């Protein structure tokens, strides 16, 4: 596995692969089994796997956890190499965003103004812009994203089609701990006694499936039941409980097979976790 | 010369040219000698010349001349073919902007909020977005733009670098009529008696050069002199007279060799013409 730091070197590598397919896995590092499953999936779909490792400052708000975001480059390097990655692209922020940088890629409010976008203004503009840059730099044939960030996936799919970027977007299912917690680099923020509270998200998904299986279709009644359920855990505060169409992210009043339940919960006032899934 | 209507067919053609350089000339059609000079320049710089012909609706404001913008596809086709163009890409607006389209590329106000951007809000977002799309669709090695739209050139250069698009931006000097009028498709809007007034722009540039040659360096005094000069022509109304740095577009108080004089003048209340150039 080679490590590339500079965007122009990354593009030079991509050009040398002419005719060999490249799959990109964009990440912010601090790898866990979720990331590794994306890398292995990428390896099944293309000749060469490129992984970008960049804690993108523009997708963090001023009050968010940019400085605290967990990092461990040596461990990440070893894990990526073991997963069969050909190139790890780990640029410096100063090379991604020089002082004169002033371009932004935005996707419409219908996709970015709700769910995580409601409490994280500017987040999806940061995501769309950096992914557009990464696609131009790495020139992949396809890119693999995890389904945990379902809204991010919808935003990136929209941008990729709208800007004719010519990259196939592949989504990969959420990878969970044995107890059901969706894997996330932010799980490391959880104090031991908060671990039970963190399970409120995956258990709320299970409760919604149980209620749906019993015939409940009302998003309003389901939301009320889930809110009470999540708040029955210590130190939890619901950010949102939303039933949305899987592609348009439009809120639905009656759930069906195209519905995604998306959840965001703050644990202990600081750690914000998300989860999502189908309930039918 | 082949004519391609659909973005996916255009990209397929581009991929078939692997290894042969492609130069793109983005246009809105109604070709004149200015466009043809860009096509010929493109032909000197790359193996294959692609010309896009698309009257981009998103760069026109609601009160602007989208519907009236002059079009003549048959004449354009013949002229492009004679200029050695390999492919004319003329997409439908519905294929460039499907109903669900919602992505915008914007460049910062320091480049887009002044000059033409001040009176045409949204114009440069429309330009940046469509050029980003065209670069993704046509995948050129280089693209040739005319210097008449100097601000557009600065915006496109910024976006191309910021988004790592990997396209070399080549600028080509303004082509003028024998009397000095900068060639523009919008010149066809001029009534015969407005032709003299339209010369106020190129003659103001000449006056600025004369005053600069005599030692005048003050942008404020030059602007005042040029305003009086332009308004001495019938039916003229100055939109802006600006002395700016050639790259940053920052307003300057003292002119020098890096200064561009940019002009926009309305003729007869309707036809808005632009021109620019160095004065030292």
What is the spatial distance between Cα B229 and Cα B210, in angstroms, rounded to a whole number?
13
Q: How far is the CA of A72 from the CAs of A54, A76, A79, B236, in angstroms?
A: 12, 6, 11, 65
Helix (H, G, I), strand (E, B) or coil at A101: coil
Class (C level, CATH) for B2-172: alpha beta
Residues in chain A: 280
Q: CB-CB: which of B11, B108, B133 is closest to A163?
A: B133
Chain B's closest residue to A103, CA to CA, is B107
Chain A's closest residue to B167, CA to CA, is A136
Helix (H, G, I), strand (E, B) or coil at B51: strand
Class (C level, CATH) for B185-275: alpha beta
Q: How far A18 CA lies from chain B's nearest CA (Å)? A: 9
CA A73 to chain CA centroid, Å, is 19
Q: How far A219 CA lies from chain B's nearest CA (Å)? A: 25
Burial B94-130 (b: 16+ CB within 10 A, else e): eebbeeebbbbbbbeeebbebbbbeebebbbbbbbbb
pLDDT exceeds cutoff 90 at B21: yes
Q: How far A82 CA lies from chain B's nearest CA (Å)? A: 30
Q: What is the pLDDT of residue B54?
A: 98
Q: What is the pLDDT of residue A20?
A: 87
pLDDT exceeds cutoff 90 at B20: no
Q: CB-CB: which of B11, B111, B158 is closest to A166?
A: B11
Determine how many CB atoms are found less than 10 A away from the CB of residue B262: 21
What is the spatial distance between Cα B251 and Cα B234, in angstroms, rounded to a whole number?
28
B103 closest CA partner among B143, B130, B136 = B130
| Beta-bridge partner residues of A15 | none
Would you say B20 and B48 are in contact if contact means Cβ atoms under 8 Å apart?
A: yes
Catalytic residue among A32, A35, A123, A231: A35
Q: CB-CB: which of A102, A111, A164 is closest to B158?
A: A102
> Where do the domains of chain B lie?
2-172, 185-275
The pLDDT > 90 percentage for chain A reads: 98
Phi and psi (nearest 5°) for A101?
A: -55, 130
Active site residues of B: 35
Chain A's closest residue to B18, CA to CA, is A18
Would you say A242 and A209 are in contact if contact means Cβ atoms under 8 Å apart?
A: no
- Is B136–A7 a contact, with Cβ atoms under 8 angstroms apart? no
Per-residue pLDDT tens for A174-229?
A: 999 999 999 999 999 999 999 999 999 999 999 999 999 999 999 999 999 999 99
Q: What is the CATH number of domain A185-274?
A: 3.30.1300.10
Mean pLDDT, rounded, for A58-68: 94
Q: How far is the CA of A279 from the CAs of A178, A203, A225, A252, A265, in angstroms?
A: 20, 12, 14, 13, 18
What is the DSSP annotation of A171-238? Answer: EEPPPB-TTSPBP-GGGGG--GGGHHHHHHHHHHHHHHHHHHHTT--BHHHHHHHHHHHHHTSTTEEE
Q: CB-CB: which of A103, A136, A166 is closest to B166?
A: A136
Helices (H), chain A: 7-16, 33-45, 73-82, 93-96, 109-112, 116-119, 123-138, 150-162, 195-213, 219-231
What is the spatial distance between Cα B36 and Cα B34, in angstroms, rounded to a whole number?
5
Question: What is the interface pTM, i.e. ipTM, of the complex?
Answer: 0.95
pLDDT confidence of B265, banded at 50, 70, 90?
Answer: very high
Instruction: Please indicate whether the domains covering A2-172 and A185-274 agree at the CATH topology level.
Output: no
What is the spatial distance between Cα B128 and Cα B158, in angstroms, rounded to a whole number?
10
Per-residue pLDDT tens for A233-258?
A: 999 999 999 999 999 999 999 999 99
Burial A124-149 (b: 16+ CB within 10 A, else e): bbbbbbbbbbbbbbbbbbbbbbbbbb
- Is B136–A166 a contact, with Cβ atoms under 8 angstroms apart? yes
Mean pLDDT, rounded, for A77-106: 98
Residue of B193 and B173 predicted with greater confidence: B173
pLDDT exceeds cutoff 90 at B214: yes
Indicate the burial class of B246 (C-beta count within 10 angstroms; 0-12, 13-18, 19 or more): middle
B133: which chain A residues are within 8 Å (Cβ-Cβ)?
Answer: 162-164
Within 13 A of A8's CA, how many CA atoms are on the CB side?
3
What is the spatial distance between Cα A23 and Cα A39, in angstroms, rounded to a whole number?
9
pLDDT confidence of B150, banded at 50, 70, 90?
Answer: very high
- Is B128–A103 a contact, with Cβ atoms under 8 angstroms apart? yes
Q: What is the pLDDT of residue A181?
A: 98
Determine how many CB atoms are found less than 10 A away from the CB of residue A109: 11
Mean pLDDT, rounded, for B182-188: 95
B11 reaches A (C-beta below 8 A) = yes
Parallel, antiparallel, or unpaired for β B103-107 and B142-146? unpaired
> Chain-wide mean pLDDT for chain B?
97
Q: What is the pLDDT of residue B18?
A: 78
């Amino acid at each position: 596995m080679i490590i590339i730091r500079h965007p122009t070197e990354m593009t030079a590598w991509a050009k040398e692969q002419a005719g060999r397919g490249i799959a990109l896995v964009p990440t912010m590092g601090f790898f866990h089994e979720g990331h590794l499953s994306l890398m292995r999936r990428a390896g099944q779909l293309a000749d060469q796997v490129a992984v970008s490792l960049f804690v993108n400052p523009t997708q963090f708000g001023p009050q968010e956890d940019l400085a605290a975001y967990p990092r461990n480059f040596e461990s990440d390097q070893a894990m990526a190499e073991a997963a069969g990655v050909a190139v790890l692209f780990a640029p410096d922020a100063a090379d991604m965003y020089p002082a004169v940088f002033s371009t932004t890629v935005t996707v419409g409010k219908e996709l970015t103004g709700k769910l995580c976008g409601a409490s994280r203004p500017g987040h999806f503009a940061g995501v769309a812009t950096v992914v557009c840059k990464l696609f131009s730099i790495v020139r992949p044939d396809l890119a693999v994203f995890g389904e945990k960030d379902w809204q991010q996936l919808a935003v990136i799919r929209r941008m990729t089609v709208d800007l004719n970027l010519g990259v196939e977007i592949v989504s990969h299912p959420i990878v969970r701990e044995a107890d059901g917690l969706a894997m996330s680099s932010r799980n490391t923020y959880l104090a031991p006694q908060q671990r039970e509270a963190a399970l409120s998200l995956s258990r709320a998904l299970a409760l919604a499936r149980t209620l749906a299986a019993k015939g409940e279709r009302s998003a309003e009644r389901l939301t009320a039941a889930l809110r009470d359920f999540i708040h029955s855990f210590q130190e939890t505060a619901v950010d949102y409980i939303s039933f949305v169409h899987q592609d348009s992210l439009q809120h639905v009043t009656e759930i069906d097979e195209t519905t995604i339940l998306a959840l965001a919960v703050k644990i202990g006032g600081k750690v914000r976790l998300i989860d999502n899934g189908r309930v039918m």
